Amino acid sequence: MTTLALISDLHIGAPVKGLGLPAEQARAEAYQAIASMQDEVLGSGADAVLCAGDIFDRHDHSEQALQIAEDLFAGFDAAGLPAALIGGNHDVESPLTARLRLPDSAQWVGQGELGLEGPGTVVWEQWRIAVHGQAVRDKDELRDLAAGYPKPVEGMWNLGLLHTSLTGQWSNRSCAPTTLETLYAAGYDSWILGHVHQPMVMASRPLIAYPGSVHTHKAGEPGGEGFALLHLENHTNPRIEFRRLPVVTA
């Protein structure tokens, strides 16, 4: 069995919101959530990492946020976990994205610099996995990016990474809108989605899911699981397991 850690909507630099915490504590708690997530991923038995976008938060361009992001992927690299990632709408607005120095084991999925020029594929031959994806190119991305994703690679697990609001019911901001029918038509084994912060399974065959955000970004926002694991075994239907992190309280 191959297991992939699924992370998304890290919003590194954004404080925990909606709990009435002092500003300094709210930001410290958010950084601690990233560190806790990394520790949990490294102890989970995962073989690799998929990141579905919004690594950074558009409101914070600090050197500390950049360093934490670099340390995160360097930690995965040191533990032998390669990573495949795409940029979300916050990443396209943040100047930190272009400055992010990734280890050789971490790759942007898509064509061109940062995967901004169209869909592409990262292949992990050792696990017979093909990861298809591309970055959001516009902060108000209204194109259906999923409609142009590559065809499945024969004989491999085909996984789609997409930062999307889908049809909009679960997000206040439209981003790369698409439909479940479009995702079904791609013929992939699973889609891992970013943008919606609530961990959710949208469909079971193929498995289409949001791993959710690492911490809360507004009052009353559901979530708190932190990340998910995707289990791939003998070409049965992929199985997802949500992992909860400690929830910060005021």
Nearest-angstrom CA–CA distance, 208 and 191:
5
Average pLDDT score, the chain: 92
What local confidence, expressed as pLDDT, does residue 23 receive? 78
Q: Look at residue 18 in the predicted model and tell me its pLDDT.
A: 66
Q: What residue has token string 């909606």?
A: 18
Residue 153 bridge partners (DSSP): none
DSSP at 151? P
Mean pLDDT by 10 residues, the chain (250 residues): 97 81 82 94 97 95 96 98 98 97 98 97 98 96 96 97 93 92 98 95 96 75 75 92 73
Q: Could you read off the pLDDT of 159-179 as tens digits, one per residue?
A: 999 999 999 888 888 999 999
Do residues 144 and 150 make contact, with C-beta atoms less than 8 angstroms apart? Answer: no
All domains in the chain, ordered by first residue: 2-243 (3.60.21.10)
pTM of whole model > 0.85? yes
| 3-state percent breakdown (helix, strand, coil) of the chain, nearest 5 | 25, 25, 50
Q: What is the pLDDT of residues 184-222, one digit of tens each?
A: 999 999 999 999 999 999 999 999 999 999 876 665 555
CA atoms within 13 A on the CB side of 219: 5
Enter the tokens of residue 24: 């300094």
Give the pLDDT confidence score for residue 25 in this predicted structure. 83
d(CA 88, CA 55) in angstroms, rounded, equals: 8
Q: What's the one-letter identity of residue 71?
A: D
Q: Is 227 in contact with 37 (CB distance < 8 Å)?
A: yes
